[in-house]
Chain A
Amino acid sequence: MSTTETSTEAAKAPAVPPAPNRVKTIVRQLLGTPRVIIGLALLALLAVFAFTGPLMTGWEVGERDFTALLDEPSPEHWMGTNKTGQDVFTQATAGLQKSLLIGLLVALLSTGIAALVGAFAGYFGSITDRALMWIADLALVLPSFVILAILSKHFGDGGWFVLVILLAAFSWMVTSKMIRGMTISLREREYIHAARFMGVPSHKIILRHILPNMSSLLIADATIAVSTAIIGETSLSYFGFGVQPPDISLGVVIADGSKFANSSWWIFAFPTLLLVILVLAVNMIGDGLRDALDPQSKSRRS
C-alpha cells in the first residue's frame, strides 16, 4: 500500500527526475504473466458466482424440496439435491460466499499480526525479540486443532467471525519469523540509521520504513494465507468443528456431500470442484505476485 503513495509522491515532486514508476512496471509485469490473469479472471468469476448464485435459483438457502430428495442434476436443480432436498447449487454458492470472506479476513488479520510481531521483534531485538518469538513458538506448539474443535460449540451467533479470529490467531507464526529475519537485516541500513538519528520514534520507523520495504513479501504471503485459511476451514468443517449452522461454508457443504460420494456423486463433486478452482485461482495469483514483486526472483525469468 505505502509503496503506492511514495511512488506517486516522487512523480509529483518537480525537483526529482522522473524515477521509473514502480507500480506501472509491476502492473505491466503482472499483466504479462498468464498465471495472474487466469487466476484473477477465475477469482472474479467465482466472486460473481458467490454473490449472485443464491439469487439466481428459485430456491432459498436451506430450503427443502421434499419432492426431490437426492435428485440428479436437472433443469430444476442445476447441481442436484442432497438427502434433505436442499438445492446443491444454492448451498454451494452460498457456502462459497462465506469461504471467500473467511479466507480474505483471515489472511488480512494473520498477515497484519505477523508483520507487526515480526517487525517489532526484529527491530528492537534483545528481550522484546525473545519474548515475542517465545510467544510465536508457544502458538506453534499449542494444539490449535483441539482449541478450535472444543471452542467451536460455543460460537453461537455470528460464530464464523470467531472462527476467523481463531484461525488467524494460529496462522501468523511462520510469516512473523520470516519478517523478523528480514527486519534484522534492514535495521542496519543507512536510511534507517538516518531516520533514527533524526529522532523519528521507533514505531514510526517500523511502520513507515521497515514494513513498506517488505510490502511485496507481505502481499504475496497474504495471498497464500487466503488459500491456507480456506483449506483449514474446510478440514475443520469436515468433522463439524468449523462454521456452525445456520451459517454455511463450502467446507460444510463438502462434508455433507462426502457421505454420499460413492452413491450420489453430484453432492460431493460440484462443491469440491468450486473449492479446488477457488484455491487454485488464489494460489496462481499469489505465485505470480511473488515472482513479479520479489526482485530476487527476477533471475528466474531470464
Chain B
Amino acid sequence: MGKFLVRRLLNYVVLIFLATSFAYLLAATNLYPRGYFEQMQPPPTPEAINTQLDTLNLNDQTPLAQRYVTWLGGVVQGDFGQTIQGREVTPQIWLKAGVTLRLITVATILGSALGIAIGAYAAVRQYRMFDKAATVASFVVLAIPTVVIALSVQVGATAINGVAGFQLFLFSGEYSAGFRGEWWELLLNRVHHAILPTFVLAVALFAAFARYQRNMMLDVLGSDFVRTAMAKGLTRRKALFKHALRTALIPTITYFTFTFGVMVSGATFTEKIYGWHGMGAWLIDAIFQQDVHVVAAASCFMAVTIMVASFLSDILYAWLDPRVRV
C-alpha cells in the first residue's frame, strides 16, 4: 500500500510539473508582455522597456530556453517570479488560493451533500411527486451555464434589494472595504458576502449530483443484496442506508473527481462576476495583462487542486469499497 501511494504521488508530481511547464511555455510564446509596457502613457523608451523586461525575465529577445530555465530555477526554490507590475507572485498565490479554496470547499460540501441526499431520496420515492420535482429542477439547472446562473442571481438580488430598500444581498467583493469591528462582525460580514457566490456554485453542483446519485441509487435498489438485507430482518431504513446508499455512493465518488475540474473553472466565472479576488479572477486578469508568470502560477494551482481531489477520491473509494483495499 505504501509503495503504491508513493508511486501515485510521484506520478502526480510529474503531471503537475508537465502541466505547469506547458502553461508557462504557451504563455511565454503567445502572450506579449512588451505590449503591456509599450502602451503605457507616456510611452517608455525601448531601452527602458528592455531593462524592465530583463529584470522580470520576460524579454522576448532572450531565447525561450534560457527564460524557461531561469523561471524553473526559481520555481524549484518555491519562487514563481514576479508579476508584470514587479510584485512577488509566490506570497500572492497563498492569498488568492485561500479565497478560491474557501469558496470551492464550502460550495462543494453543500452542493454535493444536498445533491446526494435529494438524489437518493428521489430514487427511493421513484415517480412520486418529490422525484418528479427533483428531476425537473435538476434538468433545468443543468441546462444553464454557471455564468448565466451567476448573472441571473445577481439581477434577481438587485431587484430584491430594490424592493427591500436596503442591501439584503451583497454581490460585490469578498468583504466590505474599510469595514471595522469585532472579529465576529468581520466574520459575519464575510459570510454575508459569501452567500450568493456560494449559492451559485452549490446550485450547479447540486443538480449534477442529484441526477447522478438518483440513477446510481436506482441501479442498486433493485439488486439482490438489498432484498436479502431486508429479508434477513433489517429495517428498511437500515437496509437503505447501510447497503444501498453506501454502494451507490461508490460511483458518485469517482464522478466527484471529474466534476472538480469543472468546479474550478466554474469558480473562475463566479469570482470574476462577484468581484472576488481569487485564483480564477487573477488568471483572467493576467491573460489580459500579458502576465506570463501569473498564468503559470494559476495553472499550477489548478493542476494541484485537481490532483488533490483525485487523491481524495481514491482514499474515499478505498474507505467505501472494501474490495479495493485488498
| Chain A contacts to B: CB under 8 angstroms | 134, 137-138, 140-143, 145-147, 149-151, 153-154, 174, 227, 231, 234-235, 238-239, 241, 254, 258, 261-262, 268, 272, 275-277, 279-280, 283-284, 287, 296-297, 299-300, 302
Contact = CB atoms under 8 A, between A and B. Distances in A.
B143 interface: yes
Chain B: number of interface residues, binned into ranges:
35 or more
Interface in B136-158: 139-140, 142-148, 151-152, 154-155, 158
Given A150-B287, A174-B258, A261-B151, A142 B19 contact: yes
B247 to A, nearest CB: 14
Given A146-B299, A299-B218, A140 B155 contact: no
Nearest to B259: A174
A297 B219 contact: yes
B101 interface: no
B136 to A, nearest CB: 10
A141 B16 contact: yes
B16 to A, nearest CB: 7
B26 A147 contact: yes
A146 B158 contact: no
B147 A280 contact: no
Contacts of B155: 261-262
Interface in B18-71: 18-19, 22-23, 26-27, 30-31
Given A145-B268, A296-B219, A299-B222, A138 B15 contact: yes
Nearest to A149: B287
B146 A235 contact: yes
A272 B149 CA distance: 10
Given A234-B145, A280-B139, A146 B27 contact: yes
A300 B302 CA distance: 38
Contacts of A137: 11, 15
B144 to A, nearest CB: 6
B194 interface: no
Given A141-B307, A235-B146, A272-B148, 8 more contacts: A137-B15, A141-B16, A146-B23, A147-B23, A261-B152, A276-B148, A279-B144, A300-B219
Contacts of B269: 235, 238
9 pairs of A and B residues whose beta carbons are closest in the complex? A279-B143, A143-B299, A280-B143, A299-B222, A141-B19, A231-B145, A238-B147, A141-B303, A300-B218
B261 interface: yes
A258 B154 CA distance: 11
A279 B141 CA distance: 10
Contacts of B97: none
A30 to B, nearest CB: 18
